């Protein structure tokens, strides 16, 4: 029979992980949306204003996908490392195309 302290410790760890995922989803989703929308606005072969409006409109979709992915992934390590990797790839691609934040 598990001790009460052990179950309490597991509950605290679970709540901390959910809170960490929430912060990763909020802040990571924001930065992914900013970088992906900026990259999309730079690379679309349409007039500048149309590309900007399209990129800003699709930013909502980027944010929703990241939020769902953060809470849908089983491993917290995959979420954390995946978010860092995605942000690095997006930032590197954006700076390659001459964009800045």
pLDDT of residue 60: 93
User: Quick one: tokens of 12?
Assistant: 């605290």
On the question of pLDDT at 1 being above 70, the answer is no
On the question of pLDDT at 2 being above 90, the answer is no
- Over the stretch 22-74, which tens digit does the pLDDT of each residue have? 999 999 999 999 999 999 999 999 998 999 999 999 999 999 999 999 999 99
| DSSP collapsed to 3 states, the chain | CCCHHHHHHHHHHHHHHHHHHHHHHHHHHHHHHHHHHHHHHHHCCCCHHHHHHHHHHHHHHHHHHHHHHHHHCCCHHHHHHHHHHHHHHHHHHHHHCCCCC
Residue with tokens 């980027």: 62
- Phi-psi sector, 98: left (phi>0), alpha (psi -120 to 50), beta: left
pLDDT of residue 67: 94
């Amino acid at each position: 029979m598990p001790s009460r302290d052990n179950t309490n410790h597991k509950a605290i760890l679970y709540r901390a992980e959910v809170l960490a995922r929430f912060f990763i989803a909020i802040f990571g989703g924001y930065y992914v949306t900013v970088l992906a929308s900026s990259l999309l606005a730079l690379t679309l072969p349409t007039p500048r204003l149309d590309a900007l409006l399209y990129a800003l409109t699709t930013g909502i979709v980027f944010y929703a996908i990241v939020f769902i992915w953060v809470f849908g992934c089983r491993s917290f390590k995959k979420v954390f490392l995946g978010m860092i990797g995605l942000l690095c790839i997006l930032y590197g691609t954006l700076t390659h195309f001459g964009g800045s934040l």
